C-alpha cells in the first residue's frame, strides 16, 4: 500500500505539471459498432463540460481488457476512469484502497433514490461506501431469432426454447445453422447460464451458484440442463465464427436461426437497421423463465493524487447518471438505463419487454455478482471444451462442473 501511494504521488506530480486542460483517460472494451457509438455519447457529454475524454478502448472481450486495466491500476499508472462489470471483479482493488470513494457524489446526486433496481448500487458498495457508478443494465437472459430464417425454413417463429429445438431440423433442412455461437469461452459460459436459468429454474441456479449446494450440482435437474446444453451444441455445430457480433450477424442475415446472447446484441440489430418484431424476435429467459439478470457495466475511478484529475473524475461520475446522458448512451448501446425515471423515447418491442420485466421486479443477480472471476473462468474453460468436443458427455461435464463449484469461494 505505502509504496503504491508514493508512486502515485510521484506520477501525479509529473503529470500535474504537464496537464493544462484536464484530460481524463477512460478505458473500456466497447469496440463493436453499436458499442462504439454508445461510448461516443459519453465522450461527447464529457467534452461538453470543458474536459477532454481520452479514449482508451481495448479491443477484445472483457477477458482481454480486464487484465490490462487491473495491472495498470496495480502498476501505479491508473487511468482516469475505467469500465468494469460490477460485482466481485474489483473487490480486492477496493480493499487495497486503490479505488476512489464515490459516496459523496452518490449522496449529492441522490443515487440511492434514482437507481433502479437498487441491487445495482449494492454491487458497487463495500462496507457502506460506494465505489462505482453503474451506467447500464445488461442482461444475459435473451435469445435473438431471425424471422427471415424461420420463414425460409417454412416454420413459425418459436416462442420458447422447446419450440426452437423442435424447429431446428427444419432450419437445417433449409441450409441454416439453427443456433449461432461464437467460439470464445465467455460466450458459451454465458449461454450455459441462460439455459441453466431457463431450463433449470431460478431456484436451481441459486442453489448451485449461490449456495454451492453439491446435491443440487449432482442432481437430476441439473443433468437436464446439461442435456439441453448438449442439444445446443449439436445445433451450433456448423457455427464457426469467433466473435459474438459475427454470430449476431449470422442471425441478422438470416443464415442462422437464433443466438443466445445478452441484450447488447440489440445494438447490432439497430446498426443493421432491423426492426424488432418484424425482422427479428427476442425471447427473454428463452421464453421459459421470464427473468432478467441485472449485471451491467459500471465505471470505477482509480485513486489519483492530482486534484485536477480527481475533480474531473467526480464530474464524470456525476455526469454518467444524468438523465439525458443515460438516455443517449443506453439507446445507442441497446441496454437499459440504471434509473427508472427516464424515458428512452420510442423503445422497440424488445426493449419494452425488458423494461417491463425490470419494473415488475423479475430480476436475479448476474453471474459476475455471485461467483469470482476465477471460478467463472474455470467454468468457461470447462464449457468451451465441452462445446468444442462432441464426444464430451453431459454426465462427465456435470461432474467437472460440480467439482469446480465444490472448491469455489
Kindly list the residues in this chain that would bind another protein in the complex (CB under 8 A).
Answer: 3-4, 7, 10-11, 25, 27-28, 30-33, 36, 39-40, 43, 54-60, 63-64, 66-68, 70-72, 74-77, 79, 89, 91-93, 96, 183-185, 240, 242-243, 245-246, 249, 268, 271-272, 372-374, 377-378, 381-382, 384-389, 400, 407
CA 197 to chain centre: 16
Give the nearest distance from C-beta 266 to another protein in angstroms: 15
Give the nearest distance from C-beta 16 to another protein in angstroms: 14
Give the nearest distance from C-beta 156 to another protein in angstroms: 29
**Nearer to another protein among residue 180 and residue 271 (C-beta):** 271
**Nearer to another protein among residue 163 and residue 381 (C-beta):** 381
For 292, left (φ over 0), alpha (ψ -120 to 50), or beta?
beta
Residue 142: closest CA among 285, 264, 267: 285
Give the nearest distance from C-beta 256 to another protein in angstroms: 14
Take residue 365 and report the three cell numbers written for it.
Answer: 443477480
**Nearer to another protein among residue 96 and residue 108 (C-beta):** 96
Question: Residues 247, 241: contact at Cβ < 8 Å?
Answer: yes
Which runs of consecutive H residues, i.e. helices, occur in 60-160?
A: 62-74, 91-95, 103-109, 111-114, 119-122, 147-153
**Nearer to another protein among residue 7 and residue 344 (C-beta):** 7
**Nearer to another protein among residue 30 and residue 301 (C-beta):** 30
**Nearer to another protein among residue 105 and residue 400 (C-beta):** 400
Residues 6+ apart with CB under 8 A from 19: 306, 308, 309
**Nearer to another protein among residue 38 and residue 286 (C-beta):** 38
| Adjacent-strand bridge partners of 82 | 27, 300
Q: If you ran DSSP here, which 8-state letter would residue 287 be given?
A: G
Buried b (16+ CB within 10 A) or exposed e, 244-278: bbbbbbbbbebbbbbbbbbbbbbbbbbbbebebee
Q: Which residue has the cell 473500456?
A: 28
Give the nearest distance from C-beta 11 to another protein in angstroms: 7
Give the nearest distance from C-beta 36 to another protein in angstroms: 5
**Nearer to another protein among residue 97 and residue 340 (C-beta):** 97
Question: Residues 221, 200: contact at Cβ < 8 Å?
Answer: yes
Residue 102: closest CA among 128, 84, 77: 128
Give the nearest distance from C-beta 153 to another protein in angstroms: 22
Coil vs helix vs strand at 146: strand
Take residue 108 and report the three cell numbers written for it.
Answer: 449529492
Give the nearest distance from C-beta 330 to another protein in angstroms: 17
Rg, the chain, Cα only: 22
**Nearer to another protein among residue 197 and residue 255 (C-beta):** 255
Question: Residues 99, 300: contact at Cβ < 8 Å?
Answer: yes
Give the nearest distance from C-beta 375 to another protein in angstroms: 9
Residue 222: closest CA among 77, 400, 362: 400
Bond prior to 175 in cis (omega within 30° of 0): no
Which helix (DSSP H) or strand (DSSP E) does residue 36 occupy?
helix 33-47
Give the nearest distance from C-beta 378 to another protein in angstroms: 8
**Nearer to another protein among residue 4 and residue 170 (C-beta):** 4
Amino acid at each position: 500500500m505505502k509504496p503504491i501511494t508514493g508512486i502515485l504521488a510521484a506520477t501525479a506530480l509529473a503529470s500535474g505539471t504537464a496537464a493544462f486542460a484536464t484530460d481524463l483517460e477512460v478505458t473500456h472494451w466497447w469496440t463493436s459498432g453499436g458499442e462504439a457509438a454508445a461510448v461516443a455519447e459519453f465522450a461527447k457529454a464529457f467534452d461538453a463540460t470543458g474536459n477532454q475524454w481520452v479514449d482508451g478502448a481495448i479491443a477484445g472481450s472483457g477477458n482481454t481488457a480486464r487484465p490490462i486495466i487491473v495491472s495498470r491500476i496495480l502498476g501505479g499508472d491508473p487511468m482516469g476512469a475505467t469500465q468494469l462489470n460490477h460485482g466481485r471483479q474489483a473487490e480486492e482493488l477496493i480493499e487495497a484502497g486503490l479505488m476512489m470513494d464515490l459516496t459523496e457524489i452518490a449522496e449529492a446526486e441522490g443515487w440511492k433514490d434514482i437507481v433502479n433496481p437498487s441491487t445495482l448500487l449494492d454491487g458497487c458498495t463495500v462496507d457502506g461506501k460506494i465505489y462505482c457508478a453503474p451506467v447500464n443494465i445488461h442482461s444475459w437472459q435473451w435469445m435473438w431469432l431471425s424471422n427471415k430464417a424461420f420463414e425460409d425454413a417454412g416454420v413459425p417463429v418459436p416462442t420458447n426454447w422447446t419450440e426452437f429445438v423442435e424447429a431446428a431440423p427444419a432450419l437445417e433442412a433449409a441450409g441454416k445453422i439453427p443456433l449461432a455461437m461464437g467460439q470464445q469461452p465467455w460466450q458459451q459460459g454465458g449461454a450455459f447460464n441462460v439455459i441453466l436459468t431457463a431450463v433449470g429454474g431460478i431456484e436451481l441456479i441459486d442453489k448451485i451458484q449461490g449456495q454451492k449446494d453439491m446435491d443440487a450440482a449432482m442432481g437430476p435437474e441439473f443433468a437436464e440442463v446439461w442435456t439441453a446444453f448438449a442439444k445446443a451444441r449439436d445445433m451450433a455445430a456448423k457455427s464457426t465464427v469467433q466473435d459474438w457480433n459475427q454470430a449476431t450477424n449470422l442471425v441478422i442475415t438470416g443464415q442462422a436461426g437464433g443466438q443466445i446472447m445478452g441484450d447488447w446484441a440489440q445494438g447490432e440489430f439497430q446498426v443493421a437497421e432491423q426492426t424488432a418484431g418484424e425482422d427479428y424476435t427476442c425471447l427473454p429467459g428463452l421464453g421459459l423463465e421470464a427473468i432478467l439478470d441485472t449485471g451491467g457495466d459500471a465505471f470505477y475511478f482509480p485513486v489519483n493524487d492530482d486534484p485536477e484529475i480527481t475533480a474531473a473524475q467526480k464530474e464524470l461520475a456525476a455526469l454518467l447518471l444524468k438523465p439525458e446522458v443515460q438516455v443517449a448512451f443506453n439507446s445507442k448501446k441497446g441496454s437499459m438505463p440504471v434509473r427508472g425515471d427516464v424515458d428512452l423515447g420510442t423503445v422497440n418491442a424488445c426493449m419494452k419487454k425488458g423494461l417491463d420485466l425490470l419494473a415488475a421486479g423479475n430480476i436475479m443477480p448476474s453471474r459476475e455478482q455471485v461467483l469470482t472471476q476465477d471460478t467463472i473462468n474455470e467454468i468457461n474453460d470447462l464449457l468451451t471444451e465441452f462445446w468444442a468436443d462432441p464426444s464430451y458427455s453431459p454426465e462427465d461435464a456435470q461432474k467437472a462442473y460440480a467439482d469446480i463449484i465444490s472448491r469455489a469461494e
